[in-house]
Structure 1
């Protein structure tokens, strides 16, 4: 007498091994429900009919219940099989949606990049980069926050930023350890003087000439640069005022309340500020400006595109300054 193999039914002692479920199994049950036959399902999936049959039997053994009622010459899905087929539809839809979303991100048709920049970069470099990105990749969303380098890099490490614009004054920057930094520009240091200052008529000057002046200090990193630069020039600057806002620094200088060291990136703003001139000074060093991200984020197309746009905008800014100003100062 021929015997028909029937998978064992689940019992209180044999619980279904739902951990044995996988995406392929759910899609297979969905294909069986759609095609109405094992052969049709195999054709839909690109498998052989025996392979589909064997896979279903292995799945039944793992789950401890029948998925197909094979009585007679036809079959139908059992209640458990219907449940898995229904979830197979959900999984298939989710996979299609995920594939479409990832393809959109990879193709730069969508995506979000959180950019953090220090103030003078957000004024001089970022606008051009954002305009480029909007023109080339209108589906991207770029958000912008302002922060000085220590805070910006901390946000990057904490996962609350994707790209940070930062700067450092010479030497290795320990803040960049473990990150990926793309050098953008070397931003020269200038001295901001009241327009009626005796040294304002000079094309350039020695910082030591300003040893007796009152000084206006900027951000903490900029202040350290002022102190170290002044020390090399042989004096200890008298800091009368301090502010992180470089526009406020320019206004204080214009009011005749002191002199300041400022990066060349602020030159366009300084030109619009009556009563202020910028002059190069010997003994000062340029700051290195970087676009920084993590090694993993660099492989995200939207992040890479953002860094490319920032780099291109920074280079245009350098080229424009060279054409407009040459060796002249204001």
Structure 2
């Protein structure tokens, strides 16, 4: 006969309290329930565990040897429970993940804040990667998740959609086009363009918006990251096209962000190792990223509606 955890708990409580009532108080149950459980356990085992005298329970000589093991089992259960609770808090864990720069600038910090609230003791190692660095990062298990602005087709990786956003015009705040509610791609190509090399996967998404509409795409100034592009626009060196998540904040000093009149879209992804089960931290981060991307697109659209109504 195998003792259940509940039976072990009852035996230990009686050992500690010495009375049924005391054991019941320790367990937070009724005394008759403890008494019935004890009688049932002794009947199943075929031995008496306690002798009863004047309402006190003392271990019988034949059962005395098992009580040390009962304490050991209970201690291991308590240690297991402590470990589970520590895992829930993120204690003694290091969660490594990464993001491309466009998502890392505004969306990722807000998602990490959500993760911190959920797991206040979780240690995190956050990397910023270019798209071409992602494959090695995940296959070598340097981290669990990479937030991407581009879907990676690789047999060892899985790309899950996070959210979709538009491409946005970024203009110096005093630029003549900043007075418009919406800007066309044709208007942008008439200005000095700042962007990312079209041979870069992210840069290709941006350049395709122009070429797919039959517009020329020349870049007098190229930069490696979207936040550098935005900084160059703020310095009045030109105008740019970036994805909505790169500018997902109401505070961008020196620049104005306007939607594009043409139909544009960019889908962000979380990429994971196909062979590695996701941790609860990875699941929570992915959920937080999706939520923040939804909030960012909704806020941008609401801001556009307010601006249009003012005009």
- TM-score tier, shorter chain, comes to 0.5 to 0.7
Select between 296-305 and 186-195 the one with higher mean Cα deviation: 296-305
Bigger-Rg structure (1/2):
1
Q: 1:134 to 1:286 in 2, by over 3 A?
A: same
Say whether the 8 Å CA contact 1:213–1:237 is kept in structure 2: no
The 2-side partners of 1:109 and 1:195 are apart by 43
Aligned residues: 234
Query: Are 1:265 and 2:245 counterparts?
Result: yes
Query: Aligned equivalents of 2:203 and 2:278: distance in 1?
Result: 36
CA distance in 1, matches of 2:122, 2:277: 16
Distance of aligned partners of 1:217 and 1:97 in 2 relative to their CA distance in 1, 3 Å threshold: farther
Q: Given the alignment of the two structures, is residue 242 of structure 1 paired with residue 222 of structure 2, yes or no?
A: yes
> 1:177-196 alignment to 2 at 5 Å?
177-196=155-174
**Structure 2 residues without counterparts, runs of 5 or longer:** 1-72
The answer as to 2:195 corresponding to 1:233 is no
SS of the residue corresponding to residue 105 of structure 2 reads helix
Structure 2 matches for 1:275-290, cutoff 5 A? 276-283=255-262, 285-290=264-269
Distance 1:222 1:270 in 2: 23
Q: Deviations over 1:189-230 (max 9, x none)?
A: 011223343333222233123333321112622322233222
Match of 2:231 in 1: 251
Measured after TM superposition, the shift of residue 242 of structure 1 is 0.9
Further displaced range: 95-104 or 316-325: 95-104
Q: Does residue 115 of the first structure (1) align with residue 97 of the second (2)?
A: yes
Residue 224 (structure 2) pairs with residue 224 (structure 1): no
**TM-score with structure 1 length normalisation?**
0.60
**Is the 1:215–1:240 Cα contact (8 Å) retained in structure 2?**
yes
Q: 1:210 aligns with which of 153, 178, 188?
A: 188
- Residue by residue over 1:173-195, the C-alpha shift from the partner in whole angstroms, topping out at 9 and shown as x without a partner, is 44354433332221210112233
Structure 1 residue 142 corresponds to structure 2 residue 124: yes
Deviations along 1:270-321, one digit per CA (max 9) or x if unpaired, are 74322x2222223352211112212444442232233223333333333444
Structure 1, unaligned stretches of length 5 or more?
Answer: 1-91
Paired position in structure 1 for 2:280: 301
Residue 106 of structure 2: aligned partner: 124
Residues of 2 paired with 1:160 and 1:101: CA distance?
Answer: 28
**TM-score, scaled relative to structure 2:** 0.63
> For the structure 1 residues 174 and 299, does the alpha-carbon distance in structure 2 shift closer, same or farther, using more than 3 Å as the test?
closer
Say if 1:297 and 1:303, in contact at 8 Å, map to a contact too. no
